[in-house]
Amino acid sequence: MLEFANKRNLKNILKYFLKKIKVSPFSREPYQVGETILNFHPKQIKQLLKSESFEIKKQLSVSSFRISFLKKHFSVRFLLFWERCYQYMFSFFGLGPSIFLKSVLKDNKINDLEFNFLDILSCPACKNEKLTFDRDGKILCKKCSSNFSVNEGIYNFKI
């Protein structure tokens, strides 16, 4: 299960055509918002998953009603109802600001899996990609010496 920020969301598409943003929501390059959020084109993420032998089973386009104007004028219950309806009917188009993808590694690839989870993570403090576990089971950044706890399989990268 994977969630990512979708650069090709409806709001960005409208802003792009109204010339409010310069970065095309249709290009494949990731688009950074602020200091920490990278937005990805859904096709780029799907292509990466497929190239690693994952089969995409389901797509869910979410947070479509996460708009301050709507949140100010409608109840959470009302917005959740419409969010669920929207997800059910329109997730296929992938136009929400967040996308969830359920994907499964193809059967013939499972035995080939030599996977170190730390290989895909980087230090949120210094961006270093060389992370390791220390003696206490915490994740340690070799570059800046930040360490991050692991509790019941949950990696806590809050800084």
Chain residues in the site for Zn ion (CB under 5 A): 123, 125-126, 128, 141, 143-144, 146
Distance of closest approach, residue 139 Cβ to Zn ion, in angstroms: 10
3-class secondary-structure state, position 13: helix
Nearer to Zn ion, 74 or 157 (CB): 157
B/e letters for 125-140, b = 16+ CB within 10 Å, e = fewer, are: eeeeeebeeeeeeebb
Least CB distance to Zn ion at residue 138 (A): 13
Nearer to Zn ion, 126 or 150 (CB): 126
At closest approach, how far in Å is the CB of 144 from Zn ion? 3
**What distance in Å separates the CA atoms of residue 157 and residue 106, rounded to the nearest whole number?**
30
Q: What is the DSSP letter of 22?
A: -
Backbone φ and ψ for 67, nearest 5 degrees, come out as: -125, 125
Considering the complex, state which of residue 95 and residue 141 has its C-beta at the smaller distance from Zn ion. 141
